[in-house]
Structure 1
Amino acid sequence: MTKFTPKSLEIVTTQAKEQYEGLVKAGQEQSIKQFEQTASVAKEQFEKTTAQLLKGYEDLQATSKANVEALVESSTIAAKGAEDLSREVVAFSQSVLDKTITTGKALLTAKSLQEVVELQNSFLKSSFDAFVAEATRIQELSVKVTNDALAPLSTRVSATVETLKKPLAA
C-alpha cells in the first residue's frame, strides 16, 4: 500500500490540475479551429451562392432586354405589314372603282338591251374573279406578315425557356 503524504498529494493534485488545464486548452483550441473552419466554409458557400444569384439576375436581365427588343422588332414588322396590306386594299378598291366607272360609262352608251346584259355579266364575272384573286392574295400576304412578325417572338420564347431551364438543371 502506498502512503500519501501532504507533499505527494500536492504533486498529484498539481499534475491532475495541469492535465485538466491541458485538456481544457486542447478542447478550446479544437473548438476554435472547428468554428473557424465552419465559418470559412459558410463564407465560401455564401460567396458562391451570391455569385450564382448575381449571374442568374444578369442572365435574366439580358433575357428580358432581348425579349423587349424582339417585341419591338415584331411590332415593327407587324406595323409595316399592316401598312402594306392597307396599301394593297386601297389599290384594289381604286381598281374596282375605276372598273365600275368604266363599266357604268359603257352601260350608258350601250345600243341595246342585249349589250347592257352582256356588259353587266362581264362586269360581274370579272369583278367576282378579281375579288377572289385579291382575297387569296391578301390572305397569303396576311399569313406571311403574321409569320414574319411572330418569328422574333418565337425565337425569344425558345431562348427564354432555355435560359430559365439552366438553373433548374444545374
Structure 2
Amino acid sequence: MSLNRDDDTPPARPAKGKSATRRAARSLAMQALYQWHMAGQSLSEIEAQFRVDNDFMPVDGAYFHELLHGVARQKSEIDQAIEPLLDRPLTELDPVELAILRLSTYELMQRLDVPYRVVINEGIELAKTFGATEGHKFVNGVLDKLAPRLRAAEAGRARR
C-alpha cells in the first residue's frame, strides 16, 4: 500500500548520491510504517511487498530496512519522546503524521550521523508530500521541540 500524492507536484527527480537514496528510503519507510500502523501486517510481509512493488534502484535499501525495523523495535521509546510535545493524545494523530514523527524521532535518537536539521527538513518534506494540507507545520513544530531534547549538544552548537 503506498500513499498517493494529492497534489499536482511533479515527481521527485531520480535519486543521485547518498542523500537522494536516503530520501527515497525515508519516503518508502514512512509509507511502510503507515501500512504497519493501519493494517497491522508483519514487518517482514510489508518489507517484502515494498521491495517487489517499488523500484529499489534509487533507494538505499539497507537504510529503508533499518528505519522500518528500528522504528518498530523502539516504538515505545519513540512514542514516549513524542507524547509530551503533543497538543492531543498520540492516538488522535493523523496516521501519516504519526509515521513521519516516529521515523524522524528514530533518526534523531539513533542516527547521529544525520544532522538534526536534515532530519527535521526531511520530516517536513514528507509531510508536505503525504500529509494533510497544514500537516508539515505540525511536524515541524514537534520536531523543532524534540531535536534540542535528543540532540542537546548539536542543537546548542547550531544556536551559537
TM-score, length of structure 1 as denominator length: 0.20
- RCO (CA 8 Å, sep 6+): is it higher in 1 or 2? 1
Higher helix share: 1
Larger Rg: 1
TM-score, length of structure 2 as denominator length: 0.21
